[in-house]
Amino acid sequence: MKNFLKIVNIDFLAGKDSLKNWRMLLYVSFLLMVTIYSSHSADQKIFLISKLNKEVNTLNSISVSTKLDLMNVKIESKVTSRLINNGLSVSKYPPVKVIIKD
């Protein structure tokens, strides 16, 4: 019971050997601050990783839709329909392969 009253009255910080106790208290406080800072730093990194993952998914979907649009633009029927609007038409004769022999 006497030890409990000494702790409640804070005799360990005001007594004769209080310098040792203050050092330990400051050391423990410093370790607690480092632990809290480390925890906050890890949380910030987790939030950043989540944000970057969302951005990667968005950019990936944009890339896929752009590839799909490019495939639709390259289809022969769509190219010929656009060329007909410009006054060009499909050739009646197939291309001829020219072979040169030495």
| Domain ranges, ordered by start, for the chain | 2-84
pLDDT of 5 reads: 66
pTM above 0.75, yes or no: no
Residue in 14, 93, 67 with CA at minimum distance from that of residue 22: 14
- Residue 72, pLDDT > 90, answer no
Query: Residue holding tokens 């005799």?
Result: 11
* Confidence band, pLDDT 50/70/90 cuts, at residue 58: very high
Chain centroid to CA 57 = 10
Q: What is the pLDDT of residues 24-55, one digit of tens each?
A: 889 999 999 999 999 999 999 999 999 999 99
